[in-house]
């Protein structure tokens, strides 16, 4: 089971991924925690953890409130993120996000960064080949959008969560701190395009796609390195 919740303000795709009869993983909870909780309860599921495909605020912002909600109910929900993006959680979250906002040209006086003070420290540090929360999802390291960007691949179900690495007919931006367009394209070419053509792709923004469709129609992914 894959359930999508579209999160404002940047229309981020948050996913609920079933890993058992009544258990699920929350992937990229970037906000709208009330809606996420409501969907989980409607499905009669219990979350066992949150996995972040990378650390940007639109993929992490609801983590603190979700953890607090479930802690009060005696349900431990752990946080998992790649080593190189762990700075976006915990004590370093506020400064890491301020750095990104400055890079985007925003006036710092226009924003409150208090939300980042509530982001918990990560519980699990992910690396290539890990299976977070004993799921069938395998971590594929795909740096380029951020240094610690990952994708999550289920070989048995032929599905792939790509975060902001690969979109329908697009790729993630690489102009923020830690971004590298050459490395991003290399990650896609060498680690994603060799997956089975029928693999369903669930990106961090926008509609679903498949590996075959992106090989045939994505104008960004065949650039020479």
Q: What is the pLDDT of residues 14-43, one digit of tens each?
A: 999 999 889 999 999 999 999 999 999 999
pLDDT band at 97 (very low <50, low <70, confident <90, very high): confident
- pLDDT tens digits for range 61-74: 999 999 999 999 99
pLDDT of residue 100: 87
What domains can you pick out in the chain, each with its CATH number?
Answer: 2-217 (3.60.15.10)
pLDDT digits (tens, 9 = 90+) for 101-135: 888 776 655 556 677 778 999 999 999 999 999 99
pLDDT surpasses 60 at 48: yes
64-102 b/e with 16+ CB inside 10 Å = b? bbbbebbeeeeeebbbbbbebbbbbbbeebbebbeebbe
Mean pLDDT of 169-188: 95
At 29 the pLDDT is: 97
Please state, rounded to an integer, the average pLDDT across all residues of the chain: 93
CA distance 187 to 202: 17
Q: From the CB of residue 139, how many other CB atoms can be counted at a distance below 10 Å?
A: 20
- pTM confidence score: 0.95
Residue 112 confidence (pLDDT): 61
């Amino acid at each position: 089971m894959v359930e999508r919740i579209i999160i404002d303000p940047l229309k981020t795709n948050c996913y609920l991924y079933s890993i058992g009869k009544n258990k699920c993983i929350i992937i990229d909870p970037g906000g709208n925690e009330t809606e996420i909780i409501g969907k989980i309860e409607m499905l009669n599921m219990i979350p066992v953890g949150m996995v972040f495909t990378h650390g940007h605020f639109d993929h992490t912002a609801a983590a603190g409130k979700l953890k607090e909600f479930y802690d009060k109910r005696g349900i431990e929900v752990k946080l998992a993120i790649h080593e190189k993006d762990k700075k976006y959680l915990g004590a370093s979250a506020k400064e890491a996000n301020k750095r990104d906002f400055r890079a985007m040209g925003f006036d710092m006086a226009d924003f409150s960064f208090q939300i980042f003070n509530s982001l918990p420290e990560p519980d699990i540090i992910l690396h290539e080949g890990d299976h977070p929360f004993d799921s069938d999802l395998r971590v594929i390291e795909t740096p380029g959008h951020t240094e610690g960007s990952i994708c999550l691949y289920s070989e048995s179900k032929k599905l792939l969560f790509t975060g902001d690495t690969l979109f329908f007919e697009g790729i993630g931006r690489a102009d923020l701190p830690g971004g590298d367009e050459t490395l991003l394209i290399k990650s896609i070419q060498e680690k994603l395009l060799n997956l089975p053509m029928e693999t369903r792709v669930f990106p961090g923004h926008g509609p679903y796609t498949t590996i075959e469709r992106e090989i045939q129609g994505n104008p960004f992914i065949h650039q020479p390195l």
